[in-house]
């Protein structure tokens, strides 16, 4: 009975240790291919979230992080794949992602975030690694799901794109509207509903609805919108047609840019340099199934386009990639290098870095000599190093009918853990049985030795003559009588 209790206690302790591994976040020192993902700079860490992996139907609810406070080789950047709080983590692609003002988290919102592919919005806490789902009701004002930019006052801006729906399977409608998502501090002003406020709906203007365009915010307060295609006619918008909105005065303008006007494109990416006015655009898809790998620059002071001469090894053209500006480095991540988005080989896990001062593709990333830097939207923000803390449970999400990479990671971890538990149980059980058998055998041998000793004592008692009593020694023989 004692041995059985010891066995039960050891197995229970081992099970608790293994089950404890399930309550930690899943991290992998690698990066998976991603297209149509979102990216933000929080402190000195780039966070990339969502997108799709091996094909456009495999929407992700996992993240990847990259430390930009240290130098690294572009061929092997120190990415870490993350699967945090998967029971709540929303699936997301082509949507909006913007940071909290205090740089301790980010928001994600789009048509894939809610149940049955309806609109949803959630906030991720990068300190405690937990998701909070924000309530959405029929009275909520839903902004379009498209590129988002943010200013230095905690406001996020979404201009044009496709209006989402709370009804499963409902068609998305193109929008001309500009929406401001208020984000005071680390929380929206109103979490009882989506904190979106329509700013304008310029139907009286000549601008066409756009989607798959790019937008940045400048420290001067201007929103700059470039490229994209109109909806529903799918007409490519010329890059000479630049839309601006002054977030300070509320003035809306359609500007005709000049200079070396680049080819029309969508699914490109744009960042703002440390000077606060040079907008660098990379990649995109053209009208005649062209995929671009060029670099074009728009000077927001003069609205003149230029095409700088680029040195270094030119990477493959791409679309649907992510980009973040860190100092004078434009860091580009993932994207599709082929139009067949259903082919796993089309989605890239590559990271490339462009120096926007020397206009050269780099082989080694070097962090800025001074911080703060410039985020993906182009707004300078104070940099605070993101700290780590306790993790949350890794569980398979139920937000999608199809399994994403996060769900696969969760299933894999669960299966491996169950197998380890079973194997450990069997090993401990066999070990304890052998130990118990050994102890029983030892007890038997000890009992046998004791029995033999007792038997020897009995036999010896029968063979040896008893010692004479002392009284017998005083008895004299007849021939010993006194004379």
| DSSP track, 190-234 | -SSS--EEEEE--TTSSPPPEES-EEEE-TTSEEEEE--EETTT-
Cβ atoms within 10 Å, residue 297 = 20
From 357, 320, 358, 326, select the one nearest 340 (Cα to Cα).
Answer: 320
The alpha carbon of residue 431 and the mean position of all alpha carbons in its chain are separated, in whole angstroms, by 41
The per-residue pLDDT for 198 is 63
Does this model's pTM top 0.75? My answer is no
| Distance, CA of 166 to CA of 175 (rounded, Å) | 16
Cis previous bond, 232, omega within 30: yes
| Distance, CA of 467 to CA of 461 (rounded, Å) | 11
| Distance, CA of 326 to CA of 241 (rounded, Å) | 28
Paired residues of 182 in beta bridges: 155
The token duo for 317 is 């053209």
The token duo for 49 is 């979230």
Cα separations in angstroms, 377 against 38, 39, 93, 210, 274: 12, 10, 18, 19, 11
Residue where the block lists tokens 């009208």: 287
Residue 346 CB contacts under 8 Å (≥ 6 apart), including other chains: 336, 337, 338, 339, 340
The token duo for 385 is 């190093």
| Distance, CA of 87 to CA of 122 (rounded, Å) | 12
The token duo for 339 is 């139009």
Cα separations in angstroms, 2 against 6, 190, 203, 440: 6, 61, 83, 12
Cβ atoms within 10 Å, residue 309 = 7
The domain spans of the chain are: 25-393
What kind and span of H or E run contains 440?
A: helix 405-463
* Edge-to-edge order in the sheet of strand 360-361: 322-326, 329-333, 351-355, 360-361
The per-residue pLDDT for 338 is 93
| Distance, CA of 348 to CA of 334 (rounded, Å) | 5
The per-residue pLDDT for 142 is 75
Q: What are phi and psi of 216, to 5 degrees?
A: -130, 160
Paired residues of 52 in beta bridges: 35, 59
The per-residue pLDDT for 182 is 63
CB 395 within 8 A of CB 167: no
Q: What are phi and psi of 436, to 5 degrees?
A: -65, -45
The alpha carbon of residue 148 and the mean position of all alpha carbons in its chain are separated, in whole angstroms, by 19
Pairing of strands 258-259, 252-256: unpaired
Q: What are phi and psi of 439, to 5 degrees?
A: -65, -40
The token duo for 448 is 């046998």
The per-residue pLDDT for 118 is 77
**3-class DSSP assignment, residue 326:** strand
Strands of 300-391 (E only): list them.
304-306, 322-326, 329-333, 351-355, 360-361, 364-365, 373-374, 380-381
The per-residue pLDDT for 183 is 54
Per-residue tens of pLDDT for the chain, all 483 residues: 545 554 555 555 444 444 444 434 566 666 899 999 999 999 999 999 999 988 777 899 999 999 999 999 999 999 999 999 999 999 998 888 999 888 999 999 887 766 667 788 899 999 999 999 887 776 666 777 778 898 888 788 888 887 777 677 666 667 777 888 765 443 443 434 445 656 655 444 556 788 899 999 999 999 999 999 987 778 999 999 999 999 899 888 999 999 999 999 999 999 999 999 999 999 999 998 789 999 999 999 999 999 999 999 999 999 999 999 999 999 999 999 999 888 888 999 999 999 999 999 999 999 999 876 444 443 433 333 222 233 332 222 222 333 444 444 455 555 565 576 666 667 666 766 676 666 556 656 665 565 545 555 544 444 444 444 444 444 444 444 343
CB 158 within 8 A of CB 181: yes
CATH number of 25-393: 2.120.10.80
The per-residue pLDDT for 25 is 56
From 200, 214, 213, select the one nearest 143 (Cα to Cα).
Answer: 200
The per-residue pLDDT for 250 is 86
Instruction: Count helices and strands (H / E) in the chain.
Output: 3, 32
| Distance, CA of 377 to CA of 268 (rounded, Å) | 14
């Amino acid at each position: 009975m004692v041995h059985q209790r010891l066995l039960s206690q050891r197995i229970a302790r081992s099970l608790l240790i293994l089950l404890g591994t399930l309550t930690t976040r899943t991290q992998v020192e690698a990066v998976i291919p991603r297209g149509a993902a979102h990216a933000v700079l929080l402190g000195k860490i780039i966070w990339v979230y969502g997108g799709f992996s091996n094909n456009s139907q495999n929407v992700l609810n996992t993240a990847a992080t990259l430390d930009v406070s240290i130098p690294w080789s572009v061929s092997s950047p120190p990415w870490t794949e993350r699967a945090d709080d998967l029971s709540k983590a929303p699936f997301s692609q082509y949507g909006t992602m913007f940071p909290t003002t205090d740089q301790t988290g980010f928001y994600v919102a789009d048509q894939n975030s809610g149940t049955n592919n309806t609109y949803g919005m959630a906030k991720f806490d990068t300190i405690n690694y937990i998701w909070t789902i924000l309530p959405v009701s029929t009275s909520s004002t839903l902004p379009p799901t498209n590129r988002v930019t943010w200013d230095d006052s905690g406001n996020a801006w979404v201009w044009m794109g496709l209006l989402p729906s709370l009804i499963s399977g409902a068609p998305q409608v193109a929008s001309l509207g500009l929406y401001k998502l208020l984000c005071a501090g680390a929380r929206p002003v109103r979490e009882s509903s989506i904190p979106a406020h329509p700013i304008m709906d310029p139907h009286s203007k000549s601008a066409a609805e756009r989607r798959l365009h790019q937008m940045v915010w400048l420290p001067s307060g201007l929103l700059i919108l470039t490229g994209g295609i109109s909806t529903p006619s799918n007409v490519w918008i010329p890059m000479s047609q630049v839309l601006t909105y002054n977030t300070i005065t509320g003035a809306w303008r359609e500007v005709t840019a000049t200079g070396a006007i680049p080819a029309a494109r969508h699914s490109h990416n744009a960042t703002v340099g440390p000077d606060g006015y040079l907008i660098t655009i990379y990649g995109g898809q053209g009208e005649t199934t062209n995929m671009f790998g060029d670099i074009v620059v728009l000077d927001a002071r003069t609205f003149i386009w230029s095409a700088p001469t680029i040195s270094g090894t030119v990477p493959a053209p791409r679309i649907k990639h992510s980009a973040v500006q860190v100092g004078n480095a434009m860091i580009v991540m993932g994207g599709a290098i082929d139009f067949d988005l259903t082919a796993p080989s089309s989605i890239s896990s590559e990271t490339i870095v462009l120096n926007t001062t020397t206009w050269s593709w780099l082989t080694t990333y070097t962090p800025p000599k001074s911080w703060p830097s410039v985020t993906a939207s182009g707004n300078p923000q104070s940099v605070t190093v993101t700290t780590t803390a306790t993790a949350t449970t890794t569980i398979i999400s139920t937000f999608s009918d199809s399994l994403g990479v996060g769900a696969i990671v969760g299933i894999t971890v669960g299966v491996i853990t169950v197998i380890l538990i079973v194997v450990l149980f069997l090993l401990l059980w066999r070990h304890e049985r052998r130990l118990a058998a050994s102890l029983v055998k030892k007890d038997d041998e000890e009992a046998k030795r004791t029995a033999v000793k007792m038997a020897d004592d009995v036999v010896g008692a029968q063979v040896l003559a008893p010692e004479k009593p002392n009284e017998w020694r005083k008895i004299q023989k007849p021939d010993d009588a006194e004379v």
